[in-house]
Amino acid sequence: MDCYTANWNPLGEEAFYRKFELYTMEWGLKEDLRDCLVAAAPYGGPIALLKNNARKEKSPSTRPLLEIYSASGLLLASIPWKSGQLVQLGWTASEDLLCIQEDGTVLIYNLFCEFKRHFSMGNEVLQNHVLEAKVFHTEYGTGVAILTGAHRFSLTTNIDDLKLRRMPEVPGLQKPPSCWAVLTQDRVTIVLLAVGQDLYLLDNTSCSVVDKLCEFNSTIRSPPKQMVWCTRPRSRQRAVVVAWDRQLMVAGDSTECIRFVLDEDSYLVPEPDGVRILSRTSHEFLHEIPEASQEIFKIASMAPGALLLEAQKEYEKESQKADEYLREIKDQKLLPEAVSQCIEAAGYEHEPETQKSLLRAASFGKCFIDKFPPESFVRMCQDLRVLNSIRDYQIGIPLTFTQYKRLTVEVLLDRLVLRRLYPLAIRICEYLRLPEIQGVSRILAHWACYKVQQKDKSDEEVAYAINQKLGDTPGISYSEIAARAYDCGRTELAIKLLEYEPRSGEQVPLLLKMKRSKLALSKAIESGDTDLVYTVVLHLKNELNRGTFFMTLQNQPVALSLYRQFCKHQERETLKDLYNQDDNHQELGNFHVHSSYSEKRIEGRVGALQNAVDEYYKAKNEFAAKATEDQIKLLRLQRHLQEDFDKPYLDLSLHNTVSTLIQDGHHKKAEQLYRDFKIPDKRYWWLKISALATRGDWEEMEKFSKSKKSPIGYLPFVEIAVKHHNRYEAKKYAPRVTPEQRVKAFILVGDLEQAADAAIEHKNEAEMNLVLSKCSAATDSAVMEKLNRARAQLLKK
Amino acid sequence: MASTARRDAPEPPDFGILKRLARDQLIYLLEQLPGRKDLFIEPDLMSPLDRIANVSVLKQHEVDKLYRVENRPAPSTSDQLCFLVRPRVRTMRYIADIVNADKMSGRSRKYKIIFSPQKFYACEMVLEEEGVFGDVTCDEWSFYLLPLDEDIISMELPEFFRDYFLEGDHRWINSVARALQLLNSLYGPFSRVYGIGRCAKMSYELWRDLEEESENDGQGRKPEIGNIFLMDRDMDYVTALCSQVVYEGLVDDTFRIKCGSVDFGPEVTSSDKSIKVLLNAQDKIFSQIRNEHFSSVFGFLSQKSRNLQAQYDRRQGMDIKQMKNFVSQELKGLKQEHRLLSLHIGACESIMKKKTKQDFQEMIKVEHALLEGFDIRESTSFIEEHIDRQVSPIESLRLMCLLSITENGLIPKDYRSLKTQYLQSYGPEHLLTFHNLKRIGLLTEQAAGETLTAVESRVSKLVTDRAAGKITDAFNSLAKKSNFRAISKKLSLIPRVDGEYNLKMPPDMAYVFSGAYTPLSCKIVEQVLERRGWQGLEEVVRLLNGNEFAMADGAPEDGAGGDAQRVVVAVFLGGCTFSEIAALRFLGKERGCRFIFLTTAITSSARMMEAMAEAKA
């Protein structure tokens, strides 16, 4: 094996830097990179390239070409550039491409060169043009900063929530600064710029001179092309990579520096733990060697990890030296540390072979420790497997372990989904055993949303394919997929997909959006959620003309009754229209009766009731019609009575009207009503005697009782007189009571003797007992004797 | 009937937690509007609220003044108004008027509406139409279940009956499903579910859906309630229409029990003021007589008062020390008991007075005749006389309905004449009431050759339409026969007894109607629980128009599962009466199981009739 540290370059006392190749670029680029606009997204993201941009003559054949490549140089998409002159390309945090035009317009594309939207950096930029632009990342999202032709800075900190900010003028700035950058600290965004020898900080209000942290002299006279930080997290060393045409320099705090020769034009991509270097033929990574790796691989290192690695190698060679090394570590009680070191270092290695040997060493060392928690080892194995699979040049995402941990697996999955690498994403989910709802389901849903956009397949095919793959996977929302299908203009497909949605409530909003309101209505009803039904009904009301709206409701009784309930309280007139539409004369009649209640004037009431009568006749409900006619008649009559007698008669029932008339002595009028309204005899008699009794008009009552044979018999006369405590009058009627009720009548009037006689006459034992129970020994002894005798006789027979 | 291995019924679960949950949520909602505020309360919600949180609790959370939501404009001067309301369009208009009046006078206040038990979209629609949607904030107080007693839980939604059965409005089904979900999550999982009726079925299905969506399975928790039985009120109108003769039912019929308490007027208290009495298991006197037939109540009460007197009398012949003991320990209890006893005696007297005035015996006789189906002509004339003499509009209506429903509708001549009489006696506005009664199926005409009206035929067409299968016809009771006579025969609801029916030691549930009739609803529950399903009841189910269901979800075998398997929640959608409660309590005692009653509201014949009346707006 070559010396592992051959490509290590020291910088200062402690730090080493190495540069190694990630990929040989596959893109077969003919142009020089310097002739193209280049932008590569951090975290191993895609590379955007605009060719032919510089040429001013715009013949159609040599139109600029926008291409997007994976980090390994595989073409993802390309389009001829037809919009305005571009100044700068950049990537957002969610891997959208920002194309900044000279006129300040920013166009946003996804990584398949599909246009998403655009926005403008404002009028001032439009007038003065963009000299330079930079895309930067803040806590809020992705920002864009612009240096205008008037040497002023404009910026926005979040392109998704566009707020343009114009920075104050830099005093004495006559030409573009030689160099500038956007910094964010504590949610404040500032611009750092170099004017001649001085550095200025430009914040919202002012421009101030800043002190230098340190100075380094490169001894190269031409200005560098690019300059980026190259520092790993928690490093004690600060370093900057500076690129010239043919030279790369790593400079830090110390006076020395590392120099690399560049064979080709190169482009630097800053990463959180190093720098990627792109050129026509290769893609390299330059970074500071992490501590764990240093400890293990430094020449003649006696660190526990280094010893463990050595021990394992000897063990494989079946050498007893293995034991010596191991003993040495164990004596220092550093074995756990050694294992941890090996595990950690494995993460920093790009070559699977080196990863394996470190992991083997860790695994070997683990055997000699009683209780070494396995999680860190297992997790590292899993992580490396994921990383190696995405680093494959077919996928082309060269994430380092540090970047991966910072990005998190969820975001990595998002990025795979963004690249439409669904199978890989699902494999990773399954491999890492992520919960279905966050993992597989989510990815399948994304897949389905992409699938519906495939226009070459029929609706049936797509719907079937989606259902086959998705089935009832938990957390899948078919309505979301359907919504996407609808957005792509595939309404029929959307409806098919909605059929798979188990929650009918979820189907409704989309169906409404697709103007399938009737279907939406039945789905809403199916869901049992009346609020949803209301939503649809209201929607229908606005969407359809009134006639169609009513027709639709007529076929959906549940919705209809809900709407009626609403109308009853809120829009009574609509209710009428609703019944009219349906020729529901019965309900129309009821409606008019109801309206008559709210009419103040008699004429109004009569009018409303008359309408009701008409409707009832149309409904062939003669009973209701007649009853309402009677009501009208009664109303009119009551008004007359009210005028004639100056007493409130309105709203009394017929019974009470007649009763009041009699009580007031208007017998003629009462008689007339009795005939006019065909009051049944029985009722009239009941009514009349109780009214007369209330009035105390016993004379009239007697006269009435003799007018003809009572249809209710004479017991009521007795009862009513007794009720009014008039025993004298009551007694008059008792003898006229039918024989069957006579005993009861006599008891009521308190004439026990006659009661007894009647009972004896009937030879009825129960009646005799009844009378007996009313007798008191003190006063009625004669009657009791008589009864007892009769009863005894009766029993004898 | 009493089984040999008779077990004591298990204790009911503690439903106090329902109150605590409701109270905590209300307090949380009130605190969402920090600072002093005036609270407007829907009149219907006042009694339930009182059972959950009293005024001092409200004051603690910065409620300044309390107002009733009424038609009068509110005089409140507070800068923050909070409305605690049922989700009704009418109330929304009331609130909108207040907000709009404030706007007109240039006054700015904060408004918050708390809907109980849930918000309906229609309410928001009205707020929007009135232009105040942006001015108010809305919240929901998920107060679905109010425990009225140790075994009665009410949703306090009397309007459920009319809304669902008459208007075909399905809004409350969602609330029922949520209530079931709540109950299941606290006391379940229920392992056996039975039910009958369209609404019961829809509620059950919706509840299932909710359970599936929430996905928090109660596995591993020990259930306190094992069985649940859901029933629609329209399965059995007859029972609800009968005069009640158990004490609690009579008290309800006579004085109206409201939210578990009753106002005894001066005629009962024999003083000049009314007394509000909480009627529940805590009342030692009441708990012993509530389920008794009225005829045994007087005897019990006089016995009780003699005992009480005896305990007082022990004072004679006590020495100082004993006396001290007596005063400090027993006297208070005795006094309390004494107070309750005199109240209940007063109530009994008052009931007696009222009933004798109305020829109660006569009426009961007619009711029994109707239930058994003889002397129909005489009963009809009795009803006619009842109407002619203007005895009571509600009672007359009730008798007419009872006649109709037991006879599968009135014969056309009677239908016409009774209605005419009624209109003449009680006023023409009842024309609309009759229309409602017909629609709901309570007062119908015997169809000679099934002449359906236009609407009816359309509806029935819809029902057969497969697409409309799940829709359900909103007018389900239209053209539906009650088939009471056939069902009664099938289930032998009219007990055959030799000699006198023993009301003091009743042999079966029929005692709640003096031994003349076993309540149909309770009989169905009994039969289904006994058979663990609907097998063998196919004919009855057919006569009841189907929609039955039964589900046993991992139910433990007989004997296993502990006490929970002997606890049954009987859910009455559309209300249940105290007679039904008494009957099932009796059944529970016989079978060693415990019934818990969950109802949309406590109902009675009068409440049902009033719900059908068309209010003069």
DSSP letter for each residue of A301-319: ---HHHHHHHHHHHHHTT-
For chain A, the domain total comes to 2
Average pLDDT, integer, range A631-638: 89
A509 vs B442, which has greater pLDDT? Answer: B442
Q: What pLDDT is stored for residue B4 in this prediction? A: 44
Regarding the domain with residue range B152-236+520-612, which homologous superfamily does it belong to in the CATH classification?
A: Sec1/Munc18 (SM) protein, domain 2 (3.40.50.1910)
* From A339-343, A609-613, A759-763, B41-45, the region with the lowest mean pLDDT: A759-763
pLDDT tens digit sequence for B9-38: 788 888 999 999 999 999 999 888 888 888
The answer to whether B129 contacts A530, with C-beta atoms less than 8 Å apart, is: no
Which residues, numbered 148 to 177 in chain B, qualify as contacts with chain A under a Cβ-Cβ cut-off of 8 Å? 163, 167-171, 173-174, 177
pLDDT tens digit sequence for B275-297: 888 888 888 888 888 998 888 88
Using CB atoms, pick whichever of A534, A630, A677 lies closest to residue B125.
Answer: A534
Q: Which residue of chain B comes nearest to A689, CA vs CA?
A: B389
Taking all residues of chain A, what is their mean pLDDT, rounded to a whole number? 84
C-alpha span between A225 and A268 (Å, rounded): 10
Q: What pLDDT is stored for residue B470 in this prediction? A: 36
Q: What pLDDT is stored for residue B560 in this prediction? A: 55
State the DSSP H helix or E strand holding residue A430, giving kind and residue range, or none if neither: helix A422-432
Q: What pLDDT is stored for residue B217 in this prediction? A: 57
Q: What pLDDT is stored for residue A55 in this prediction? A: 55
CB of A166 closer than 8 Å to CB of A147: no
From residue A671, how far is each of A465, A642, A684, B164, B250 by CA, in Å? 86, 17, 9, 46, 41
The answer, for A679 touching chain B at a CB cutoff of 8 Å, is yes
| pLDDT greater than 90 at residue A252 | no
Using CB atoms, pick whichever of A532, A558, A619 lies closest to residue B474.
Answer: A558
- Domain residue limits at A745: 713-796
Average pLDDT, integer, range A196-215: 83
Q: What pLDDT is stored for residue B240 in this prediction? A: 93
| pLDDT greater than 90 at residue B596 | yes
| pLDDT greater than 60 at residue B453 | no
CATH of the domain at A85: 2.130.10
Q: What pLDDT is stored for residue B220 in this prediction? A: 62
Kindly list the residues from chain A whose CB atom is less than 8 angstroms away from the CB atom of residue B129: 570
Which residues, numbered 198 to 217 in chain B, qualify as contacts with chain A under a Cβ-Cβ cut-off of 8 Å? 202, 205-206, 209, 213
| CATH number listed for the domain at residues B15-142 | 3.40.50.2060
B497 vs B226, which has greater pLDDT? Answer: B226
Q: What pLDDT is stored for residue A61 in this prediction? A: 62
The answer, for A528 touching chain B at a CB cutoff of 8 Å, is yes
pLDDT tens digit sequence for A298-336: 888 888 888 898 898 889 888 888 888 888 888 888 888
Kindly list the residues from chain B whose CB atom is less than 8 angstroms away from the CB atom of residue A555: 462
The answer, for B470 touching chain A at a CB cutoff of 8 Å, is yes
The answer to whether B431 contacts A654, with C-beta atoms less than 8 Å apart, is: no
C-alpha span between B366 and B396 (Å, rounded): 12
The answer to whether A522 contacts B471, with C-beta atoms less than 8 Å apart, is: yes
Helices (H), B256-372: 266-269, 284-289, 294-313, 320-325, 331-357, 360-372
A486 found inside a domain: no
**Which burial class, exposed, middle or buried, applies to A116 when counting CB atoms under 10 A from its CB (0-12, 13-18, 19+)?**
exposed
Sign of CA dihedral A788, A790, A795, A796: positive
Band (B74; pLDDT cuts 50, 70, 90): low
pLDDT tens digit sequence for A660-682: 888 888 888 888 888 888 888 88
CB–CB contacts below 8 A, A to B? 143
Find residue A149's DSSP bridge partners. none
Tokens of B168: 């075909």
Q: CB under 8 Å to B322, separation ≥6 — which residues?
A: none
Q: Which residue of chain B comes nearest to A632, CA vs CA?
A: B428
Band (A58; pLDDT cuts 50, 70, 90): low
Using CB atoms, pick whichever of A557, A593, A651 lies closest to residue B475.
Answer: A557
Kindly list the residues from chain A whose CB atom is less than 8 angstroms away from the CB atom of residue B476: none
User: How many Cβ atoms are within 10 Å of A93's Cβ, its own excluded?
Assistant: 16
pLDDT tens digit sequence for B494-507: 888 777 888 888 88
A718 found inside a domain: yes
Distance of CA A727 to the CA centre of its chain: 81
The residues spanned by each domain of chain B are 15-142, 152-236+520-612, 254-353, 357-407+409-449
Q: What pLDDT is stored for residue B452 in this prediction? A: 41
| pLDDT greater than 80 at residue A714 | yes
The answer to whether A654 contacts B423, with C-beta atoms less than 8 Å apart, is: yes
Q: Which fold has domain B357-407+409-449?
A: 1.25.40
Q: What pLDDT is stored for residue B200 in this prediction? A: 92
| pLDDT greater than 60 at residue B473 | no
Average pLDDT, integer, range B263-270: 84
pLDDT tens digit sequence for B206-220: 898 888 777 665 556
**φ/ψ (deg, to 5) at A159:** -70, -15
Using CB atoms, pick whichever of A503, A558, A624 lies closest to residue B431.
Answer: A624
Q: What pLDDT is stored for residue B450 in this prediction? A: 43
User: How far off is chain B from A757, nearest CA to CA, in Å?
Assistant: 26
C-alpha span between B200 and B180 (Å, rounded): 11
Band (B479; pLDDT cuts 50, 70, 90): very low
The answer to whether B167 contacts A561, with C-beta atoms less than 8 Å apart, is: yes
Q: CB under 8 Å to A665, separation ≥6 — which residues?
A: A695, A697
Average pLDDT, integer, range B572-581: 94
Q: What pLDDT is stored for residue B328 in this prediction? A: 80
Band (A28; pLDDT cuts 50, 70, 90): confident
Average pLDDT, integer, range A426-434: 86
Using CB atoms, pick whichever of B88, B89, B174 lies closest to residue A529.
Answer: B174
Band (B471; pLDDT cuts 50, 70, 90): very low
Under DSSP, the state recorded for B293 is B
Q: What pLDDT is stored for residue B561 in this prediction? A: 58
Using CB atoms, pick whichever of B122, B459, B474 lies closest to residue A566.
Answer: B122
Fold match, B15-142 / B152-236+520-612: yes
Which residues, numbered 389 to 448 in chain B, qualify as contacts with chain A under a Cβ-Cβ cut-off of 8 Å? 389-390, 416, 419-421, 423-429, 431-432, 435
CB of B248 closer than 8 Å to CB of B293: no
What Rg do the C-alpha atoms of chain A give, in angstroms? 51
Tokens of B160: 């459920």
Percentage above 90 pLDDT, chain B: 27
Band (B573; pLDDT cuts 50, 70, 90): very high
Band (B462; pLDDT cuts 50, 70, 90): very low
* From A332-341, A373-382, A391-400, A463-472, the region with the lowest mean pLDDT: A463-472
Instruction: State which amino acid sits at residue A672.
Output: Q
Exposure b/e, A581-610, CB count within 10 A at least 16 = b: ebebbbbbbbbbbbbbeeeeeeeebbbbbe
Starting at the edge strand found earlier in the chain, the sheet holding A97-101 runs A86-91, A97-101, A105-109, A115-120
Q: What pLDDT is stored for residue B458 in this prediction? A: 47
The answer to whether A627 contacts B213, with C-beta atoms less than 8 Å apart, is: no
Taking all residues of chain B, what is their mean pLDDT, rounded to a whole number? 84
Residue range B254-353 forms a domain whose CATH class is: alpha beta
User: How far off is chain A from B335, nearest CA to CA, in Å?
Assistant: 39
pLDDT tens digit sequence for A491-530: 777 777 777 777 777 788 777 777 777 888 888 888 878 8
Band (B475; pLDDT cuts 50, 70, 90): very low
CB of B175 closer than 8 Å to CB of B155: yes
Percentage above 70 pLDDT, chain B: 90
Kindly list the residues from chain A whose CB atom is less than 8 angstroms away from the CB atom of residue B169: 530, 561-562, 565
User: How far off is chain B from A677, nearest CA to CA, in Å?
Assistant: 9
User: How far off is chain B from A513, nearest CA to CA, in Å?
Assistant: 19
CB of A657 closer than 8 Å to CB of A634: yes
| Paired sense of beta strands A37-40 and A130-138, if any | unpaired
The answer to whether A565 contacts B428, with C-beta atoms less than 8 Å apart, is: no
Q: What pLDDT is stored for residue B383 in this prediction? A: 92
User: How far off is chain B from A299, nearest CA to CA, in Å?
Assistant: 59
pLDDT tens digit sequence for A100-147: 998 889 999 988 888 889 999 888 888 888 889 999 988 888 999 999
Using CB atoms, pick whichever of A526, A535, A630 lies closest to residue B470.
Answer: A526
From residue B73, how far is each of A257, B107, B152, B425 by CA, in Å? 85, 15, 37, 37
Q: What pLDDT is stored for residue B454 in this prediction? A: 42
The answer to whether A627 contacts B431, with C-beta atoms less than 8 Å apart, is: yes
* From A625-629, A650-654, B50-54, B353-357, the region with the lowest mean pLDDT: B353-357
Q: What pLDDT is stored for residue B193 in this prediction? A: 92
Band (B113; pLDDT cuts 50, 70, 90): very high
pLDDT tens digit sequence for A542-560: 888 888 888 888 888 888 8
Distance of CA B202 to the CA centre of its chain: 20
Q: Which residue of chain B comes nearest to A558, CA vs CA?
A: B474
* From A204-218, A493-507, B196-210, B411-425, the region with the lowest mean pLDDT: A493-507
User: How far off is chain B from A699, nearest CA to CA, in Å?
Assistant: 22
Average pLDDT, integer, range A773-786: 77
Average pLDDT, integer, range A174-187: 85
Average pLDDT, integer, range A245-265: 86
C-alpha span between B186 and B105 (Å, rounded): 49
| pLDDT greater than 50 at residue A782 | yes
The answer to whether A528 contacts B416, with C-beta atoms less than 8 Å apart, is: no
Percentage above 70 pLDDT, chain A: 98
The answer to whether A557 contacts B129, with C-beta atoms less than 8 Å apart, is: no
The answer to whether A652 contacts B616, with C-beta atoms less than 8 Å apart, is: no
